[in-house]
């Protein structure tokens, strides 16, 4: 009888706890409806254990003042946006026809994510790792003031050793060196790797570090950004992380095809500002000021107009997804997409379908070599759905495609860290450069055409001939797509 009473009490207690957990999910977190139902099902089928899963994978970030900005800091960061929003009403600000044509997109980015527009940038495109890292190391060697470096992945390999040693040399010269890496992405990394750099005056921090190196309550929330700012004069942004695979030296991937930008101009200020905010969050020490956010106001390095758009789970708005949607809906002729992960939500799929039905040439290039089997089959499932609408699906075969690029009408392009999946849209901290420059767009178009020479076109007839087993794998992968 006592055992029965204990069992009854345990069942009642479990039920009460599950109800409380459900109340948290429904009324406190205030998620979208699909996510709410998904977590309620987890709690229902996995009592108590489901809540532990929720603690590690499901908790949302505090969205109000995530970066712990003071009122003074908020005023400083908002002032430039308010001034530029006023200027947007003047025709002389959007001075060239291209900017006027995409004026609504520029305004949306500014209102949504405080993305300032700069008109005086010089942009260089890298698509091979060796070229990118040769340029980066050269700029690091020439640094005179400071080096700010932030990557999702820093591997413990020869490239990382070379980077660490170069940074240590600069720190010994009195240059301020700051390194920020993501705990989950750089799971093989630890501070001991940077021991000599730290002893030489360098600063190394981890974004969302683990508790006792074993437990990470933010394992599902990643800082996926890959940026470097040198002397407040040069900035790098794009898809390359730090590791030998990005040089094409890892057999599993072979040739690594990515896209990264080296930027000179006022946009460097805005990338620098993004680093400072993330550094402040990781250290809880940095006070934002004019010098930290913008080291040099006089740029005038080129003619490329750029907005730096950032997004993350700290925001109630999916800024980068909205930018993608607006880009696609703005297209009149063509939309060319390169992405390693094509696992979009329904809004992105609808935008592609509307563009296709409107006569826009939509081409999507994804890897033919998967880095994760579920991702590969989910890619095919979503891309295959667009074939019947007229999309051209290209499977890149010359190694692994990791570029994250959208090119519209060969006029405007987005290059950055954001994949086309729900993780990048909702869970990751990401950053992209939106470039309004026909020359840069043409260069990216030429790269796309060259990549087509190394790609296999998946036709509708070929896709419809896939086996029942392949269809099954696609269905399972699509079901798992929200967590891939």
Closest-CA residue to 441 (of 387, 402, 405):
405
Count of residues making up the chain: 484
Please say if 231 is a catalytic residue: yes
Structure tokens at 258: 């990515």
Instruction: For residue 426, give the DSSP letter.
Output: I
- Angle, CA of 25, 27 and 30, to the nearest 5°: 70
Catalytic residue among 409, 421, 437, 451: 409
Are residues 386 and 328 in contact, defined by beta-carbon separation less than 8 angstroms? no
Instruction: Tell me if 288 sits within 8 A of 69, measured CB to CB.
Output: yes
Q: Whole-angstrom Cα distance, residue 273 to residue 304?
A: 19
128 is catalytic: no
Q: Which of 49, 51, 45 is nearest to 23 (CA)?
A: 51
Contacts of 172 (CB under 8 A, 6+ apart): 200, 201
Give the three-class secondary structure for 383.
Answer: helix
Tokens 């329904």 correspond to 346
Element (H, E) at 417: none
* Active-site residue identified among 120, 131, 157, 231: 231
Tokens of 93: 């600000």
Separation CA 457–CA 474 (nearest Å): 19
Which residues contact residue 270 at a Cβ distance below 8 angstroms, ignoring those fewer than 6 apart? Answer: 115, 116, 118, 307, 308
* 113 within 8 A of 324, measured Cβ to Cβ: no
Residues 183, 64: Cα–Cα separation, whole Å: 23
214 by Cβ neighbours in 10 Å (0-12 / 13-18 / 19+) ranks as: exposed
Q: Which one of the listed residues 127, 132, 170, 226 is annotated catalytic? A: 226
**Catalytic residue chosen out of the listed positions 170, 224, 280, 473:** 224
Q: The tokens of 31 are what?
A: 């998620």
Query: In angstroms, what CA-CA distances link 329 with 127, 335, 356?
Result: 27, 10, 10
Beta strands of 388-454 (E only): which ranges?
A: 392-396, 400-401, 405-408, 412-416, 420-421, 430-436
What residue spans of 88-157 are helical by DSSP H? 97-101, 103-113, 129-141
446 assigned to active site? no
The continuous run of DSSP H or E covering 457 comes out as strand 455-458
Given the residues 404, 421, 437, 473, the one annotated as active site: 404
Under DSSP, is residue 306 helix (H, G, I), strand (E, B) or coil?
Answer: strand
Tell me which of 170, 270, 392, 402 is the catalytic residue: 402
Looking at the DSSP assignment, which residues form a beta bridge with residue 405? 338, 415
Residue 399 burial by Cβ neighbours in a 10 Å radius (0-12, 13-18, 19+):
middle
Known catalytic membership, residue 87? no
* Active site residues per annotation: 224, 226, 231, 402, 404, 409
């Amino acid at each position: 009888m006592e055992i029965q009473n204990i069992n009854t009490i345990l069942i009642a207690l479990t039920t009460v706890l599950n109800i409380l957990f459900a109340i948290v999910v429904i009324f406190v977190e205030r998620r979208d409806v699909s996510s709410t139902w998904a977590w309620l099902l987890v709690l229902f089928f996995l009592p108590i254990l489901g809540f532990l899963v929720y603690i590690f994978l499901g908790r949302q970030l505090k969205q109000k003042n995530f970066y712990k900005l003071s009122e003074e800091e908020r005023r400083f960061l908002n002032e430039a946006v308010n001034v530029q929003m006023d200027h947007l009403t003047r025709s002389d600000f959007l001075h060239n026809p291209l900017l006027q044509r995409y004026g609504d997109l520029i305004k949306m980015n500014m209102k949504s994510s405080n993305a300032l527009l700069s008109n005086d940038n010089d942009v260089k495109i890298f698509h091979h790792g060796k070229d990118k890292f040769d340029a980066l190391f050269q700029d690091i060697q020439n640094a005179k003031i400071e080096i700010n470096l932030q990557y999702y992945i820093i591997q413990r390999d020869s490239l990382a050793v070379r980077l660490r040693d170069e940074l240590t040399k600069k720190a010994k010269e009195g240059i301020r060196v700051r390194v920020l890496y993501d705990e989950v992405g750089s799971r093989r990394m630890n501070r001991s790797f940077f021991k000599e750099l730290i002893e030489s005056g360098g600063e190394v921090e981890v974004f969302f570090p683990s508790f006792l190196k074993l437990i990470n309550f933010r394992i599902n929330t990643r800082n996926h950004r890959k940026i470097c700012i040198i002397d407040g004069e040069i900035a790098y942004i794009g898809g390359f992380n730090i590791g030998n695979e990005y040089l094409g030296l890892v057999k599993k991937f072979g040739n690594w095809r990515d896209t990264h930008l080296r930027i000179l101009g006022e946009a460097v200020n805005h990338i620098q500002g993004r680093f400072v905010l993330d550094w402040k969050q990781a250290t809880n020490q940095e006070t934002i000021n004019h010098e930290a956010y913008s080291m040099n106001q006089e740029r005038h390095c080129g003619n490329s107009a750029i907005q730096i758009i950032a997004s993350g789970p700290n925001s109630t708005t999916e800024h980068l997804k909205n930018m993608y949607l607006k880009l696609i809906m703005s297209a009149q002729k063509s939309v060319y997409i390169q992405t390693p992960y094509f696992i979009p939500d329904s809004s992105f799929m609808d935008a592609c379908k509307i563009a296709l039905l409107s006569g826009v040439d939509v081409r999507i290039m994804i890897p033919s070599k998967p880095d994760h089997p579920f991702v590969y089959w989910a890619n095919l499932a979503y891309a295959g759905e667009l074939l019947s609408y007229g999309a051209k699906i290209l499977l890149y075969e010359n190694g692994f495609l990791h570029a994250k690029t959208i090119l519209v009408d060969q006029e405007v392009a987005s290059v950055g860290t954001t994949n086309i999946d729900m993780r990048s849209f909702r869970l990751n901290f990401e950053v992209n450069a939106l470039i309004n420059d026909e020359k840069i767009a043409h260069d990216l178009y030429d790269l796309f055409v060259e990549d087509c020479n190394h790609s296999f076109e998946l036709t509708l007839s070929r896709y419809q001939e896939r086996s029942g087993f392949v269809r099954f794998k696609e269905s399972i992968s699509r079901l798992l797509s929200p967590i891939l």
